[in-house]
Amino acid sequence: MIIQPYRTQNWPEVWQILKPVFRAGETYPFARDISGAEAREVWIEQPLATYVALENGTVLGTFYIKPNQPALGAHMCNCGYVVAPAARGKGVAGLMCEFSQSEALRMGFSGMQYNLVVETNTGAVGLWQRHGFAIVGTVPKAFRHPVKGLVAAHVMHKELR
């Protein structure tokens, strides 16, 4: 598997990975009926950089890196990750997490903060913790889960070195 910067020709596969995750509404706060154009804006255009994880030319996952806040908070980055259903459980998210940390350091970021890790997304919470992230806060009823109703979301952080 290789991880490389997103290229325009990757969009159809990236959208096919993002679309069911956004439609499910269980892990990201985007509208469940987000259009492809809107998704492209938030996943590709707004971030500082977007990447894809490829195996034999097939996109297995994607992530972005962006400043967590403007100006005085821009030394901390934020990332979002999504893995194709067929590639889940194969270490793709962990590899993307490690790669994103290296890239963030290279870009000059000193830390990484995840602002809304939904508590019901136990796989992600555990994965980020295994990669050195700490839960630094939990916001009650911060996420409107389509099945479980209002659930808490964690703020997770890691200093980059």
Say which CATH number the domain at 82 has: 3.40.630.30
Q: From CA 22, how far away is CA 105, in angstroms rounded?
A: 28
| Nearest 10 degrees: Cα torsion 85, 89, 95, 97 | 80
Q: From CA 95, how far away is CA 90, in angstroms rounded?
A: 10
The pLDDT of 131-136, averaged and rounded, is 98
Report the pLDDT value the prediction gives residue 50, as an integer from 0 to 100: 98
Q: What's the domain count of the chain? A: 1
Q: Give the model confidence (pLDDT) of 14-34 as tens digits.
A: 999 999 999 999 999 999 999
Count each helix (H run) and each strand (E run) in the chain, helices first: 4, 7
- Asked if 120 and 145 count as a contact pair (C-beta separation under 8 A), the reply is yes
Report the pLDDT value the prediction gives residue 103, as an integer from 0 to 100: 98
| pTM of the complete model | 0.96
Phi then psi dihedrals of residue 152, to 5 deg = -75, 160
Residue 14 lies in domain: 2-159
